[in-house]
Amino acid sequence: MKRRKLLSEVQTAAKDSLMSETLTMKKAPIAIFLGFLAASFISFQSKQKPLSDAVSVIVIDAGHGGKDPGCNGAGEVFEKQVTLGVALRLGKLIQDSLKDVKVLYTRKTDEFIELYKRPELANKNNADLFISIHCNSNKNTTAAGSETYLMGLHKTEGNLSVAKRENAAITMETNYQSNASYGGFEPESPEGHIIFTLVQNAYMEASSGFASKVEHHIALTGKIKSRGVKQAGFLVLWRTAMPSVLVEIGFLTNPADRAVLKTPDGQKQMANALFKAVREYKKERESRLPKTNPVNAPKAINRDSLTRPNNPVRP
């Protein structure tokens, strides 16, 4: 009964939202997608874990890769190269400075990774933070700056078009239309981008807090300006069961941003900004941990060892 009520609430919310949009598609595929989405939302919700204050596992997702180059930086550089360069540098900074953190990468080389496998890696490893790194693109070459996104309903057409471009990566996957992980999502459908953002994300506040830090530290580099924290429906964030953001670290179509992002030094600066955001976020979250941290608590006596004369308890 509860499930049915939830399902009907999700459907009603989605339909209400759709009413305000101009519908150009046939209704049947939308209804199918809605039904699938609601069902998969319910089963996914039950898998969500409570937000942990410890930040021990971080997944770094370098956008695109392999046959998917991402956006084109005027033939000088491709998005997939920049995202990998920043991702690897960020991972190394974390590993060198935050020894208690385990870093996992969705890719460490120039390879094609299906979109659904990226959040899947984070979920399987119980990650505490998911950072997807991308570069922006616009026909207007004066558009410049970074934007950090969390999952949510877009407020402007501009934000929607960023999500549409990034989500279109799935069209490079074979059989994406029959892949249950995408729930019948069609990258060309504006409705698809709206519907799945209506699912309430339990990690919204933490994601937003981290996103603000990312934008703050990118602005502090003085190399790329901040365009702020935004929301849109990104498939790669959809099913992450932890705080997660997608950061567009600058526009490859803007000559000044591109000049920064294509160089190893510029990538280092962006990685450093992301690292500072991670360090600050981790410190802030972990300050909430109880003082009697289980890690520091005395170990329980191994009663089994006490009963064995040949296995004395060492101090």
Q: For binding to Zn ion (CB under 5 A), which residues are involved? A: 63, 70, 134, 166
Using the minimum distance from each CB to Zn ion, give the nearer residue, 70 or 187: 70
Residue nearest to Zn ion (CB): 134
Dump the DSSP string for 126-160: T-SEEEEEEEE--SSTT---EEEEEES--SSHHHH
In angstroms, give the least distance from the CB of 124 to Zn ion: 23
Cα 44 from Cα 120, distance rounded (Å): 12
Q: Outline where the chain has alpha helix (H).
A: 2-19, 27-45, 79-97, 117-124, 157-167, 190-195, 204-221, 235-238, 255-261, 264-286, 303-306
In angstroms, give the least distance from the CB of 76 to Zn ion: 17
Cα 232 from Cα 211, distance rounded (Å): 13
Using the minimum distance from each CB to Zn ion, give the nearer residue, 80 or 279: 80
Helix or strand (DSSP H, E) at 62: strand 57-62
From residue 284, alpha-carbon distances to 4, 55, 131, 288 in Å are 39, 10, 17, 7
Using the minimum distance from each CB to Zn ion, give the nearer residue, 70 or 243: 70
Please compute, for residue 143, the number of CA atoms within 13 A of its CA located in the half-sphere on the CB side. Answer: 17
Give the closest residue to 29 by CA, choosing from 200, 233, 177: 177
In angstroms, give the least distance from the CB of 250 to Zn ion: 12
In angstroms, give the least distance from the CB of 36 to Zn ion: 25
Using the minimum distance from each CB to Zn ion, give the nearer residue, 166 or 173: 166
In angstroms, give the least distance from the CB of 18 to Zn ion: 26
In angstroms, give the least distance from the CB of 134 to Zn ion: 3
In angstroms, give the least distance from the CB of 137 to Zn ion: 8
Cα 27 from Cα 4, distance rounded (Å): 22
Using the minimum distance from each CB to Zn ion, give the nearer residue, 38 or 62: 62
Give the closest residue to 232 by CA, choosing from 134, 140, 139, 126: 134
Cα 157 from Cα 186, distance rounded (Å): 18
Using the minimum distance from each CB to Zn ion, give the nearer residue, 51 or 172: 172
Give the closest residue to 215 by CA, choosing from 246, 251, 240: 246
Using the minimum distance from each CB to Zn ion, give the nearer residue, 33 or 251: 251
Using the minimum distance from each CB to Zn ion, give the nearer residue, 14 or 169: 169
**CB proximity list for 305: less than 8 A, separation 6 or greater:** 311, 312, 313
In angstroms, give the least distance from the CB of 79 to Zn ion: 5
Cα 32 from Cα 146, distance rounded (Å): 36
